[in-house]
Amino acid sequence: MKSMNDLPTIKIWGAGTARTFRPVWIAEELGLNYQHVPIGPRTGETQTAEYTRLNPKQKVPCLVDGELVFSESVAISRYLIARYGDRSTITAPECLELRAKEDEWVCYVYGELDETSLYVMRRHDALKQIFGEAPQAVASARTYASRHLSLIAAHLENRDFVVGDRLGLADIILVSCLDWAARYDFELENSLLTYRDSIAQREAYKKAIAINYSASRGG
Ligand SMILES: N[C@@H](CCC(=O)N[C@@H](CS)C(=O)NCC(=O)O)C(=O)O
Q: Which domain holds residue 121?
A: 96-202
Q: Residue 1 pLDDT > 60, yes or no?
A: no
Together in a domain, 79 and 130: no
For ligand 1, mutation pick of 59, 76, 173 (most atoms within 8 Å of CB) = 59
Tell me if 26 is assigned to some domain: yes
Residues 173 and 130 in one domain: yes
CB 46 within 8 A of CB 59: yes
Residues 85 and 112 in one domain: no
pLDDT reported for residue 216: 53
Q: Is the pLDDT of residue 217 over 70?
A: no
CATH for 164: 1.20.1050.10
In a domain, 3, yes or no: no
Ligand 1 lined by 55 (C-beta under 6 Å): no
Cα(163) to centroid(ligand 1), Å:
26
103 & 86 share domain: no
User: 77 and 20 in one domain?
Assistant: yes
DSSP letters for 149-210: HHHHHHHTTT-SSSSTTS--HHHHHHHHHHHHHHHTT----HHHHHHHHHHTTSHHHHHHHH
pLDDT-derived band at 215, boundaries 50, 70, 90: low
CA of 59 to the centre of ligand 1 (A): 5
Alpha carbons 90 and 42: distance in angstroms, whole number: 31
Gap from CA of 42 to ligand 1 centroid (Å): 10
Average pLDDT (16-25) is 98
Count of domains forming the chain:
2
Are 78 and 102 members of one domain? no
56 and 147 together in one domain: no
Nearest ligand 1 atom, CA 114: 19
- Which tens digit of pLDDT belongs to each residue from 108-158? 999 999 999 999 999 999 999 999 999 999 999 999 999 999 999 999 999
Q: Is residue 48 in a domain?
A: yes
**Could you give the 3-state DSSP secondary structure of residue 37?**
strand
Is 59's C-beta closer than 6 angstroms to any atom of ligand 1? yes
Same domain, residue pair 112 and 180: yes
- The domain that holds 64 is classified in CATH as 3.40.30.10
Same domain? 187 vs 110: yes
Atom of ligand 1 nearest to the CA of 76: 20
- Are residue 85 and residue 170 in the same domain, yes or no? no
Residues 86 and 108 in one domain: no
Does residue 19 belong to any structural domain of this protein?
yes
In a domain, 49, yes or no: yes
Model confidence pLDDT, tens digit, residues 43-87: 999 999 999 999 999 999 999 999 999 999 999 999 999 999 999
- Say yes or no: 151 and 85 in one domain: no
Q: Is the pLDDT of residue 30 over 80?
A: yes
17 lines ligand 1 (CB under 6 A): yes
Q: Given ligand 1 and candidates 13, 46, 47, 60, which is best to mutate, with the most ligand atoms within 8 Å of its CB?
A: 60
Whether 219 lines ligand 1, by a CB cut-off of 6 Å, is: yes
What is this structure's pTM? 0.95
- Name the E strands within the chain: 10-13, 34-37, 62-65, 68-71
